Amino acid sequence: MARPVTGVHVTGWGAYAPSLVLRNVDLERMVDTNDEWIVSRTGISERRIAGPDETTASMAAVAGLRAIATAGLQPDDIDLILLGTLSPDYVMPSTAALVKEAIGNKRAAAMDLYAACSGFVYGYATGHAYIASGMAKHVLVIGAETLSRYTDFSDRSTCILFGDGAGAVVLSASDEPGGTLGIEMTTDPSGAYLIWLPGGGAARPATATSHASGEHYMKMKGTETFKMAVRTLGSTATAAVKKAGLDLSDVDLVVPHQANNRIIEALAKSLDFPMAKVFVNVQRYGNTSAASVPLALSEAVAAGRVKKGDRLLMVAFGSGLTSGAIMLQWTADPAAMARAAAIGPA
Ligand code: UT7
């Protein structure tokens, strides 16, 4: 095992969103809803939907390759691939194994992480631990989802919310100052069934009956989830900032899980934190679960909202109920920023 290091930095980032756009007006033709209701209750105007040949693995691979290219690395430089997803291509093999094949990496260990919308943040925390312990030098952390395949497009309370996409970062060992400053992860099973997908697992295997009753679709108690989300995001974010030895006033940009603009605004209000320092792109992608934070991070950088030395707070919340937050100082060099700009956000 190599010498443990303390510095874990984001050296690469990238994202991918499918080209098919599903607008609120399209949903008006599918369920009893309307653009005004969706925008006022969620902030979402449109979301991306995977094409017939796209899967979680294929989107994750594109985002992953973009992150590796931004870092100025080759696929074989990656020691470990961690994929946060709740919509794996298969129950087995892991989707991360398929991503390894797709990106042409011959040497990494690869595994999926199941933490729903917190999957990317949990993956980041896990990658951090591998690097800080000396077990890995470069870790590819991906969040990718094909939620459209688990969405009941006759249920107006859920089908308006979700979208597909992928985002990734490369975490690298380095002794330079900055990088990851504080991490918080929580799981509260008291809300385990607020958002769940009952069918297809070992407890309720897929049968013709379970399929006919729609057990293979996501179910959600929206209002209860909303309240838990605001509370938990706030406490998790605050804990990560504290672990970094900082104060909320030291944070330059918050990149939160993009579930609902009202949740993000309520979070900012509860923390007395200005919305001007919060990145929001939920209007164009909806809730992409584990993909949402890295997709937002990629767009925030492309939009010029992140510069060297900035302190970023990423925070997520999801089924489980899981929550996680990462406090980090952005240290990407100008060459990486230029490579990312050439690739584009998503
Ligand atoms: O990644 C984390 C996972 N999920 C979340 O973070 C989601 C958290 N929850 C939410 O974002 C919100 O609860 C929703 C957007 C899902 C719903 O908003 P809400 O303000 O909590 O609405 P509601 O469920 O209390 O429904 C209000 C009304 C109901 O009608 P009645 O009973 O008042 O007549 C619903 O039937 O709105 C109705 N409704 C709709 N109307 C038009 C529900 N969905 C729709 C719709 N279009 N799509």
Instruction: Tell me if residue 184 falls in helix, strand or coil.
Output: strand
Q: Whose CA is nearest to atom 48 of ligand 1?
A: 156
Confidence of residue 1 (pLDDT cuts 50, 70, 90): very low
Instruction: Give the CA distances from residue 36 to residues 33, 41, 43, in Å, rounded to whole numbers and listed in that order.
Output: 9, 8, 10
pLDDT band at 22 (very low <50, low <70, confident <90, very high): very high
Task: Give the Å distance between the CA of 224 and the centre of ligand 1.
Answer: 10
Residue 257 appears among annotated catalytic residues: yes
Q: Mean pLDDT across the stretch 48-71?
A: 98
**Amino acid identity for residue 193 in this structure:** Y
Measured by CA distance, the residue closest to atom 35 of ligand 1 is 157
Distance of CA 30 to the CA centre of its chain: 27
State the pLDDT confidence band at 4, using cuts at 50, 70 and 90: low
Which of 155, 224, 233, 260 most suits a substitution to test ligand 1, by most atoms within 8 Å of the C-beta?
260
The angle at the Cα of 59, spanning 53 to 65, to the nearest 5 degrees, equals 130
CA distance 55 to 57: 5
Amino acid at 34: N
Q: What is the pLDDT of residue 36?
A: 98
Residue 282 and residue 264 in contact, taking contact as beta carbons nearer than 8 Å: yes
| Interstrand relation of 253-256 and 20-23 (parallel, antiparallel or unpaired) | unpaired
Residue-wise pLDDT for 257-268, tens only, equals: 999 999 999 999
- Asked if 230 contacts 267 with a C-beta cutoff of 8 angstroms, the reply is yes
Q: Which atom of ligand 1 is nearest to the CA of 220?
A: 4
Q: Could you confirm whether 281 is annotated as catalytic?
A: no
Question: Of residues 24, 105, 117, 261, which has the active-site annotation?
Answer: 117
- Give the three-state DSSP class for 246: coil
| pLDDT score of 327 | 98
Amino acid type, 117: C
Distance 109 CA to ligand 1 centre (A): 41
Single pTM value for the model:
0.97
State percent of the chain over pLDDT 90: 97
Characterize the bridge pairing of strands 219-220 and 253-256: unpaired
**Cα–Cα distance measured from residue 19 to residue 48, given in angstroms and rounded to the nearest whole number:** 7
Residue 3's pLDDT band (boundaries 50, 70, 90)? low
Nearest CA to ligand 1 atom 20: 41
Tens of pLDDT, residues 69-108: 999 999 999 999 999 999 999 999 999 999 999 999 999 9
pLDDT confidence bin for 174, thresholds 50/70/90: very high
Average pLDDT over residues 223-241: 96
Q: Rounded to the nearest whole angstrom, what is the distance from the C-alpha of residue 116 to the centroid of ligand 1?
A: 20
Distance 241 CA to ligand 1 centre (A): 31
Dist. CA 184–CA 41, nearest whole Å = 29
Q: How far apart are CA 136 and CA 219, in angstroms?
A: 38
Residue nearest to atom 42 of ligand 1 (CA): 33
Q: With cut-offs at 50, 70 and 90, classify the pLDDT of residue 312.
A: very high
Q: What is the pLDDT of residue 5?
A: 61
Protein residues whose CB sits closer than 6 Å to any atom of ligand 1? 33, 37-38, 41-42, 117, 156-157, 160, 195, 220, 222-223, 225-226, 229, 259-260, 263, 287, 318
Q: Are 312 and 49 within 8 A, CB to CB?
A: no
Q: In which region does residue 221 sit, left (phi positive, over 0), alpha (psi from -120 to 50) or beta (all else)? A: beta
Cβ atoms of 35 and 192 closer than 8 Å: no
Alpha carbon nearest to ligand 1 atom 44, residue: 157
Would you call 8 helix, strand, or coil by DSSP? strand
Mean pLDDT, residues 190-205: 95
Helix (H) or strand (E) holding 300: helix 292-302
Residue 199 per-residue DSSP state: S
**pLDDT for 177-192, tens place per residue?**
999 999 999 999 999 9
Determine the 3-state secondary structure of 64 from DSSP: helix
* Tens of pLDDT, residues 124-172: 999 999 999 999 999 999 999 999 999 999 999 999 999 999 999 999 9
226 CA to centre of ligand 1 in angstroms: 10
The mean per-residue pLDDT over the stretch 316-338 comes to: 97
| Mean pLDDT, rounded, of the chain | 96
- Per annotation, catalytic residue among 9, 159, 257, 260: 257
| Cβ neighbours of residue 181 closer than 8 Å, sequence gap 6 or more | 243, 244, 245, 246, 311, 327, 328, 329
Q: In terms of Cα–Cα distance, which of 185, 179, 170 is closest to 118?
A: 185
